[in-house]
Amino acid sequence: MVQKNQKEFLSSQSLVPIDQVREGIAVLKNGALLSILNVSGINFELKSESEQNDIINTWNNFLNNLGFSLQVLVQSRKINISNYINGLREKTQKETNELLKIQIEDYLEFIQNFVDLYSVIRKSFYVVVSYEPVIIKQAGLVKKFGESFRSMLSLTRPAFTTSIPLTEDDFNKYQKQLLIRQNNVINGLARIGLAAAPLTTDELIKLFYNLYNPETFEKQKVELPQEVV
């Protein structure tokens, strides 16, 4: 039974393209390095037509001037706000001002009715910046490029079952190149009005875990914001 579980674990692990996460960088099994930026959003629909055109043109120029590809990831997840609702109930019980208490109760009723009818969705926006060194193996250059390209199409698709080891010197060298690209992307997005910040190691691990375990993420409870309590 233990051997069967071990085989299942190894089989599942072989489908994950990530070899390790360190210093805010994901190292893939094909030797590529990834930096993932958490990007803020803008309400495009509220912009005037001229502002919308400026954003589109700036975005086009930004992409055309890049010497490497980007991957845009939009994550939509249902969230559990039971902690938020329970916090409102507690605040209602503790509130001594009768007018505020009535307002909180009305708001709580609205939230509860909304949750009963609709799912609460959280959207997160990410930009994946990659640096993939040219590594020529016995499989041949053409085959290697084909495999590398397929593995980068999605972080959740099958990748190599074995890893291409990186020396510490190689990692440091590739990291510098990746950070140059990362800074270029951050500056380019800033010109559009989008704030971007690289995920830390812990944030990357959490993101990857949630990508591969969406049902666990949806069961997580959202804490009540401090300004509400």
Q: Is residue 95 assigned to a domain?
A: no
What tokens appear for 219 in the block?
Answer: 């069961």
What tokens appear for 200 in the block?
Answer: 């830390």
Q: Is residue 14 assigned to a domain?
A: yes
Q: Is residue 151 assigned to a domain?
A: yes
The size of the chain, in residues, is: 229
Q: Is residue 189 assigned to a domain?
A: yes
Per the DSSP assignment, residues forming a β-bridge with 176 are none
The per-residue pLDDT string of the chain (229 residues; one tens digit each, 9 = 90 and over) reads 445 555 544 455 566 778 889 999 999 888 889 999 999 988 888 899 999 999 999 999 999 988 888 899 888 877 778 888 888 888 888 888 888 888 988 998 898 888 888 777 888 899 999 998 865 444 444 444 444 444 444 444 444 445 677 888 989 999 999 999 999 999 999 999 899 999 999 999 888 887 777 666 545 544 444 443 3
Count the domains in the chain: 1
- DSSP code for 48: -
Q: How many CA atoms lie within 13 A of 200 on its CB side?
A: 2
Look up the domain containing 43 and give its range. 2-77+123-211
Q: Is residue 103 assigned to a domain?
A: no
Per the DSSP assignment, residues forming a β-bridge with 36 are 128
Q: Say what the pLDDT of residue 18 is.
A: 83
Q: Is residue 42 assigned to a domain?
A: yes
**Angstrom distance (rounded) from CA 154 to CA 71:** 9
Q: Is residue 216 assigned to a domain?
A: no
Q: Say what the pLDDT of residue 183 is.
A: 95
Q: How many CA atoms lie within 13 A of 47 on its CB side?
A: 14
Q: Is residue 135 assigned to a domain?
A: yes
Q: Say what the pLDDT of residue 158 is.
A: 42
**Angstrom distance (rounded) from CA 18 to CA 5:** 21
CA-based R_g, the chain, Å: 23
Q: Say what the pLDDT of residue 62 is.
A: 92
